A = this chain, B = another copy of it.
Amino acid sequence: MNKAKIVIAGAGYGGMNTAVALSKKLGHNEASITLVNKHDYHYQTTWLHEPAAGTMDPDRTRVKISDVLNTNKVNFVQDEVLEIKTDNKKVMLKDGELDYDYLVVSLGAVSETFGIPGVHEHAFTKWTLNGARQVKDHIDAQFANYNNTADPHEGMLTFVVAGAGFTGIEFIGELSERIPELCKKYDVPREKVRLFVVEAAPSALPGFDPELVEYGMNLLESRGVEFKINTPIKEVTASGVIVGEGEEIKSETIVWATGVRGNPVIDQSGFEANRGRIKVEPDLRAPGFDDVFVIGDCALIINEEINRPYPPTAQIAMQMAKTCANNIVTLNKGGSNLESFKPDIKGTVASLGGKEAIGVVGSKKIYGGTANFMKKMIDNRALFILGGPMLTLKKGKFPL
């Protein structure tokens, strides 16, 4: 018995779907599969704007790993990955180590701060389940404190989102929907609350269709969101953000959403990388490594049409998982004819809170209710692919 040892590091969209696919494709005798992840749950990263703003129970976004993985076929190890030692084919964990014959690096991204001072100290930067709960509780606490303070100071109810990309827009969409309810609950006049989105680039949602961006911005402005576009953040302080030419926006709540970079383990392990992302071969292996696949947030692939990297999305991570699993099965059978990965972008929909959304599906622009339903379909589809109809039923977004 000399079964190949397959280790999957990280249980996000890429890692989970690789594990599920491999558990279906490989028999007990063909390989031993191990999934290692910090938590015993997977969560829907693309849903986090909802629990972060308080419009969804955070439990809805997570899935217990043992609920969807066949744990007879996949060993699950709850631990944190610290480093990959490619020389002796080991994954170093906080509390141990794992040997591998094939490794799938599917670790998640972390916030990109661009070296701006004060971000880690004063902003919420963790776009994780834990991070989302923290943001939500902090927002609630700001409201709760407001009428219990002798002299409520400026900035207590000013909420700043740094970055008007996908995450920032989806978060402010939810939060702007929830503000009237928070004001009512905590007896706060609506005009005391200010919502800012600060973006360094010349447009919100860069790369998105301009007509859709305008629709989205108008909608959010009608809910009281103030955009500061073309406005770099110079510094984050305990009392707010310094933007543009030194103007300060007083705020005790800065949510950082200016983009992401690959997992620090990539640099830590000595891979050649660009902001923590490895430019993978067409078969999704790290250049120079026959036995290391990299998928999801840490994989860099180029969109040839515009000669720029694809953004790391759940959609691409899930598609990579499929190719990665197929290629490992081929290698494990002694084959060498590996699949090349080609992303198949079905479309992109950004929710704007409530029943609003904007998006592009194929070549068609969609708005409002149609986009909102499509977004739900996309979210349910991810659950379906991961855990079948039972998971969809349990955690899905049903308009009931």
Q: Using a CB-CB cutoff of 8 Å, which residues 341-400 of chain A contact chain B?
A: 346-347, 361-364, 366, 369-370, 373-374, 377, 380-381, 384, 388-390, 392-393, 398-400
A399 CA to B380 CA, complexed, in Å: 15
Give A24 Cβ to nearest chain B Cβ, in Å. Answer: 9
Interface size class of A (residues with CB under 8 A): 20 to 34
Instruction: Verify A377–B400 contact, CB threshold 8 A.
Output: no
A59 CA to B120 CA, complexed, in Å: 56
Tell me which residues across on chain B come within 8 A of A384, comparing CB atoms: 377, 381
Most chain-B CB neighbours within 10 Å: which of A366, A377, A392, A399? A377
Tell me which residues across on chain B come within 8 A of A347, comparing CB atoms: 389
A349 CA to B390 CA, complexed, in Å: 13
Most chain-B CB neighbours within 10 Å: which of A347, A362, A389? A389
With A370-B398, A373-B399 as contacts: A364 and B381 at CB distance below 8 Å: no
Tell me which residues across on chain B come within 8 A of A364, comparing CB atoms: 390, 393
Copy tally for this chain in the complex stands at 2
Instruction: Verify B373–A398 contact, CB threshold 8 A.
Output: yes
Tell me which residues across on chain B come within 8 A of A388, comparing CB atoms: 346, 362
Instruction: Verify A393–B374 contact, CB threshold 8 A.
Output: yes
Instruction: Verify B380–A393 contact, CB threshold 8 A.
Output: no
Give A33 Cβ to nearest chain B Cβ, in Å. Answer: 20
Instruction: Verify B361–A389 contact, CB threshold 8 A.
Output: yes
Tell me which residues across on chain B come within 8 A of A366, comparing CB atoms: 393
Chain B residue at minimum C-beta to C-beta distance from A349: B389
Instruction: Verify A389–B369 contact, CB threshold 8 A.
Output: no
Tell me which residues across on chain B come within 8 A of A373, comparing CB atoms: 398-400
Chain B residue at minimum C-beta to C-beta distance from A361: B389
Q: In the A-B complex, list the 6 residue pairs whose CB atoms are closest, starting with the nearest.
A: A362-B390, A361-B389, A346-B389, A373-B398, A347-B389, A369-B400
Complex A-B: 10 CB contacts under 8 Å: A346-B389, A361-B389, A361-B393, A362-B390, A364-B390, A369-B398, A370-B393, A373-B398, A373-B399, A377-B380
